[in-house]
A = this chain, B = another copy of it.
């Protein structure tokens, strides 16, 4: 199975290389970027002697003829154009950007401040939240890979949202992400001296993953109300934690909720529900495709606190993309994804 990657030199792209280079079925056929036709190791010296591929310019015809599957590790606003070019080619597409996630193009315009993809394209895109959308992913031709924050938040909220155990207007998601999520673009805010020993909130009530989370919540519970969602920048490279707060409709104990979570995710190898009293830390999933979840019900307030962590480049991007590719081709979901967390 031959795959191409467009946007290889970003952090999501190079994480795809790490996974696919050892994947038992998918084979890296070509890598593309606008960075120039250089060997990939010149951009990423850690690949020296391991991956000798040259970056190629993007030739849609060639990709269409030679590859079975294309990963778009390109920014929002770019993927949309690439998908159009690849529309009539015989390739399946997994898009890591936000361009095809929102069914309502007005949401896209408003939150992304970019021109949306055409409705006809978005309509055939399948939202690739692997654990909750497996059936549709199996037969998709275009997969909109979820956002990193959205993945952590939705996997954490899924069971209580779907079972309608929480009051729909009380959901607050406090998100924290490592800086690799911001990609490699050269901005003052991504400089070491600005991020190091620092912690910032950003895009207050304006983060573009908000409508994506709300859309999925609505698919679970049509009474969903607007959520409060905050995002903060952690002085680490990899990792996302979402700390989620909501008021329970009825008295469930912590142990009862944990049991619900264990049942819900029983067949899903990448979700680990922590035992009572145990909460995950972001480093405990670093380099792996796991999403770890812990929770606690506070009887004083009637609220549940749910904590979910992922590696934003893995389960939050490249890892989930390959997981979706595995589903798409009927492989075991863990194929090529059996990385243990790198600890310490």
Closest B residue, CB atoms, query A234: B199
Stretch touching chain B among A87-95, A143-151, A301-309: A301-309
User: Bound complex: CA of A184 vs CA of B226, how far in Å?
Assistant: 39
Interface centre among A44, A225, A344 (most CB of B within 10 A): A344
How far does the Cβ of A8 sit from chain B's closest Cβ, in whole Å? 13
A127 / chain B contacts, CB cutoff of 8 Å: none
Stretch touching chain B among A26-34, A55-63, A130-138, A279-287: A279-287
Q: Which of B190, B232, B282, B287 contacts A198 (CB 8 A)?
A: B282
User: Bound complex: CA of A191 vs CA of B227, how far in Å?
Assistant: 32
Stretch touching chain B among A157-165, A173-181, A323-331: A173-181
Closest B residue, CB atoms, query A341: B46
A201 / chain B contacts, CB cutoff of 8 Å: 241, 243, 279, 281, 294, 307
User: Bound complex: CA of A193 vs CA of B298, how far in Å?
Assistant: 31
Give A311-344 interface residues, CB cut-off 8 Å to B. Answer: 338, 340-344
- A190-B192, A237-B197 given; A287·B287 CB < 8 A: yes
Q: Are A204 and B21 in contact (CB under 8 A)?
A: no
Determine if A82 is an interface residue (Cβ-Cβ < 8 Å): no
Q: Are A200 and B45 in contact (CB under 8 A)?
A: no
Q: Which of B196, B199, B202 contacts A196 (CB 8 A)?
A: B196
User: Bound complex: CA of A170 vs CA of B174, how far in Å?
Assistant: 15
Determine if A86 is an interface residue (Cβ-Cβ < 8 Å): no
Determine if A109 is an interface residue (Cβ-Cβ < 8 Å): no
Give A51-81 interface residues, CB cut-off 8 Å to B. Answer: none
A238 / chain B contacts, CB cutoff of 8 Å: 197, 344
Q: Which of B199, B287, B343 contacts A236 (CB 8 A)?
A: B199
Determine if A267 is an interface residue (Cβ-Cβ < 8 Å): no
Q: Are A45 and B342 in contact (CB under 8 A)?
A: no
- A184-B188, A241-B201, A340-B18 given; A281·B45 CB < 8 A: yes
A284 / chain B contacts, CB cutoff of 8 Å: 45-46, 48
Determine if A245 is an interface residue (Cβ-Cβ < 8 Å): yes
A218 / chain B contacts, CB cutoff of 8 Å: none
- A235-B235, A279-B204, A283-B198 given; A245·B272 CB < 8 A: no
User: Bound complex: CA of A227 vs CA of B302, how far in Å?
Assistant: 10
A186 / chain B contacts, CB cutoff of 8 Å: 186-188, 191
Give A205-237 interface residues, CB cut-off 8 Å to B. Answer: 205, 225-228, 230, 232, 234-237
A300 / chain B contacts, CB cutoff of 8 Å: 205, 226
A sample of 23 inter-chain contacts (CB < 8 A) reads: A44-B343, A46-B283, A46-B340, A174-B230, A174-B245, A176-B176, A180-B344, A190-B193, A192-B192, A193-B344, A194-B344, A196-B196, A197-B238, A198-B236, A199-B283, A200-B281, A201-B241, A201-B279, A204-B294, A205-B300, A225-B301, A228-B303, A342-B342
